[in-house]
Amino acid sequence: MRNLLIYLVLLIGLSSCAINFTLNGASVPDNLKTFTVQYFENRAPLINPTLSQEFTEALKDRVTNESRLALTEENGDIDFSGQITGYSIRPMAIQADALSAETRLTVTVKVTYRNFKDPQQGWESSFKAYQDYPSEQNINEIESELTELIIEQITQDIFNKAFSDW
């Protein structure tokens, strides 16, 4: 009985906190209920035609799946906007015969985070991620797999910056 009483006191005390914590370390203040994600246009010199849509949807999915916030089309309590500013493929490991053994695909995204409930929490940052692959592989055959991994990393970094106390 005593343990049950202690458990109830702790449960009530913790549930009255102003911040909700999730298993991934994110903390979302109770006053935030909704979020919006604007379409991220691809402004990179080299264009992947599907990257904008894939990235925008992945960021929506990340916030939906890893927080209690509800996605709304407009006027969310917080808002993510920005653009894809870099998409590059370049050789990395040059061998003695001046040929590349490894190539790197890099994506850079500029993000603006606005918190309409607490404007001082807003920020603007660039996020970059890359994947290396053997140069003998044709980029057309593995590009979608590589971009999926890169998008996963960038959206995780954005989520962490927005919702984790680092």
Q: Are 26 and 164 in contact (CB under 8 A)?
A: yes
| CATH architecture, domain 33-163 | 2-Layer Sandwich (3.30)
Distance between CA 11 and CA 160 in Å, rounded? 26
Tally of CB atoms within 10 A around 144: 12
Residue 72 CB partners (closer than 8 Å, separation 6+): 34, 35, 36
- pLDDT tens-digit readout, 53-62: 999 999 999 9
Between β-strands 41-42 and 78-94, what pairing exists: parallel, antiparallel or unpaired?
A: parallel
Hey, where are the domains in the chain?
33-163
- pLDDT tens-digit readout, 109-137: 999 999 999 999 999 999 999 999 998 89
The amino acid that residue 125 corresponds to is S
What pLDDT is stored for residue 101 in this prediction? 84
Please tell me the pTM assigned to this model. 0.81
H-state helical runs in the chain: 2-15, 51-66, 139-163
Distance between CA 17 and CA 146 in Å, rounded? 41
